[in-house]
């Protein structure tokens, strides 16, 4: 477990005042540490922090902080104690929370249970249960291996029911209710998840109409599913509608939006039935016919394992999560971490509150208020000073830096700077009119810096209608400005804080 750090250990000198709670109200808008060992001409020509932020032309505030990792000293900050949405930067804290709670070698299990063992003839005369252990990486290929395991156990027939159980984690209908229904990055969460709880929707023109399919495809298989149904409707808008039917996800799509053909992933709202139907198909391919899946809330006490598969180690799962920014993975590992520490949480918000408490206790921070583990919900708040404080504290405690994505240093035209002499490991975060970047910048002389940059035009974001939220007008331009500002800050720090 992480040993608690005092504020003196975490942030020395001027930064101690910044983290003292009530003193935040008196904090200067921007502060700079004089460059040590004299300022040469190159360093004097580097734009200062306030100029870079002003020149970015971003509507909405920015919160920026930079610290030296070894001492914990804040080197410079701008509105450093202002809490803003972190977007997917929150996943860095979630990764640390999961590592501390579960351990780097933790593996999720997915099992097949039976209420009665198979007879010598290979027939199970009771029920079988597909029991999820929360694995966020479970895909159709993994379920195929599980079906092979059932056959390898000598099973040739199941006479009882086929049950599915996702109770290892709480059932979350969607991560953020403010998102459009059809976006694949906002699925349901369960203890039984498949293909990141997304179903593949494909359409092709068939004369004046369209042929559509819904499947749980993978690299090797393409099992169609009936639990998600799509109907093409003659209308202009909305493009998609969703309704939860009787054990089925009911979708419609506007015919005018389909063109000549295409495909996209849609979120699954009944993940246990989705995984069950895919497994039913895969077991059938092994010669084992199963009845339609039925959900259960509690596992029978007498049920015994007959086949199982494991995920990769947690450290690898987290590295992929930070690289690809998968929301489902973040929510699952966060929920699993809370369950391991204090028992299964009642909701996603309750689990996020447990992570908030862990972050505050571990690093002595105040401006930390996550509402989920992925950063998708824009009600989450963290300040740049608090994020930097966590990064400084984590550096010696957990291998977070090693699994953060490598970020290239680029110039104003977005071209990579050759032989930049710096290594940047960080987590990006993007929502509509919200952008963040936080991590570590190691300079050529070995100096290691921790930084956090958060920006947000929350008024403009709040004004978006539901229909505008997938591709809002002006969103790409605003995000481009934010990313150029982030790179300008990284270039500044590379020069100003390197040894002369």
What does the pLDDT look like over 345-393, one tens digit per residue?
999 999 999 999 999 999 999 889 999 999 999 999 999 999 999 999 9
Yes or no: is domain 7-103+314-496 CATH 3.40.710.10?
yes
Q: What are the phi and psi torsion angles at 184 (to 5°)?
A: -70, -15
Residues of the chain with pLDDT under 70: 1-42, 500
Residue 1 is predicted with a pLDDT of 57
pLDDT at position 32 is: 52
Distances in Å between the Cα of 278 and the Cα atoms of 130, 319, 421 are: 11, 27, 49
The pTM for the full model equals 0.91
Residues 8-20 have pLDDT tens digits of: 344 433 333 333 3
9 φ, ψ (degrees, to nearest 5): -70, -35
Q: Count of alpha carbons within 13 Å of 235, Cβ hemisphere only? A: 11
Q: What is the pLDDT of residue 348?
A: 98
Residue 40 is predicted with a pLDDT of 66
Whether 408 contacts 461, CB under 8 Å: no
Is the CATH number 3.50.80.20 carried by domain 109-169+273-310?
yes
How many whole angstroms separate alpha carbon 280 and alpha carbon 442?
Answer: 51
Q: Parse the chain into domains and list their residue ranges.
A: 7-103+314-496, 109-169+273-310, 195-271
Task: Summarize the chain as % helix, strand, coil (round to 5).
Answer: 35, 25, 40
Q: How far apart are the first and last CA of the chain?
A: 39
DSSP single-letter state for residue 224: B
Tokens of 307: 């086949």
Q: Can you give the pLDDT at residue 467?
A: 84
Long-range contacts of 35-40 (CB under 8 A, 24+ apart): 35/496, 35/497, 37/499, 37/500, 38/500, 40/500
Strand spans (E) along 207-280: 209-215, 228-233, 240-245, 248-254, 261-267
The two domains 7-103+314-496 and 109-169+273-310 share their CATH topology (first three levels equal): no
> What is the spatial distance between Cα 351 and Cα 370, in angstroms, rounded to a whole number?
10
């Amino acid at each position: 477990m992480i040993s608690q750090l005092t504020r003196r250990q975490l942030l020395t000198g001027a930064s101690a005042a910044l983290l003292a709670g009530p003193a935040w109200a008196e904090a200067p808008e921007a502060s700079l540490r004089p460059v040590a060992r004299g300022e040469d001409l190159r360093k004097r020509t580097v734009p200062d922090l306030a100029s870079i932020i002003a020149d970015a032309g971003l509507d909405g505030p920015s919160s920026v902080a930079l610290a030296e990792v070894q001492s914990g000293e804040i080197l410079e900050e701008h509105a450093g104690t202002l809490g803003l949405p972190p977007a997917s930067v929150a996943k860095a804290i979630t990764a640390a929370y999961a590592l501390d709670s579960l351990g780097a070698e933790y593996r999720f299990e997915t099992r097949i249970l039976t209420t009665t063992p198979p007879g010598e003839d290979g027939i199970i005369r009771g029920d079988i249960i597909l029991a999820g252990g929360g694995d966020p990486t479970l895909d159709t290929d993994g379920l195929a291996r599980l079906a092979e395991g059932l056959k390898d156990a000598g099973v040739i027939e199941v006479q009882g029911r086929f049950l599915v159980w996702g109770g290892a984690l709480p059932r979350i209908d969607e991560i953020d209710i403010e998102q459009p229904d059809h976006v694949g990055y906002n699925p349901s969460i369960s203890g039984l998840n498949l293909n990141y709880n997304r179903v593949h929707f494909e359409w092709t023109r068939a004369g004046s109409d369209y042929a559509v399919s819904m499947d749980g495809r993978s690299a090797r298989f393409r099992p169609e599913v009936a639990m998600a149904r799509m109907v093409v409707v003659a209308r202009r808008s909305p493009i998609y509608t969703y309704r939860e039917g009787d054990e089925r996800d009911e979708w419609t799509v506007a015919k005018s939006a389909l063109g000549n053909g295409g495909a996209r992933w849609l979120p699954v709202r009944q993940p246990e039935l989705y995984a069950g139907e895919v497994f039913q198909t895969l077991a059938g391919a092994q010669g084992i016919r199963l009845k339609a899946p039925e959900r259960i809330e509690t596992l029978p006490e007498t049920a015994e394992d007959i086949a199982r598969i494991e995920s990769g180690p947690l450290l690898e799962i987290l590295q992929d999560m930070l690289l690809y920014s998968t929301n489902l993975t973040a929510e699952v590992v966060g929920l699993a971490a809370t369950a391991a520490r204090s028992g299964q949480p009642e909701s996603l918000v309750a689990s996020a509150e447990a992570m908030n408490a862990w972050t505050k206790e571990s690093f002595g921070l105040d401006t930390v208020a996550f509402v989920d583990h992925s950063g998708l919900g824009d009600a989450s708040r963290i300040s740049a000073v608090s994020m930097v404080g966590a990064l400084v504290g984590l550096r010696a405690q957990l291998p977070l830096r090693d699994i953060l994505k490598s970020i290239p240093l680029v110039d104003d035209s977005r071209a990579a700077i050759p032989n930049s002499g710096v290594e940047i490991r960080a987590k990006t975060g993007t929502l509509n009119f919200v952008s963040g970047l936080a991590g570590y910048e190691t300079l050529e002389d070995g100096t290691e810096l921790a930084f956090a940059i958060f920006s947000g035009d929350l008024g403009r974001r709040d004004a978006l209608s539901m229909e505008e939220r997938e591709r809002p007008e002006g969103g790409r331009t605003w995000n481009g400005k934010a990313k150029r500002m982030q790179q300008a800050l990284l270039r500044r720090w590379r020069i100003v804080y390197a040894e002369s």
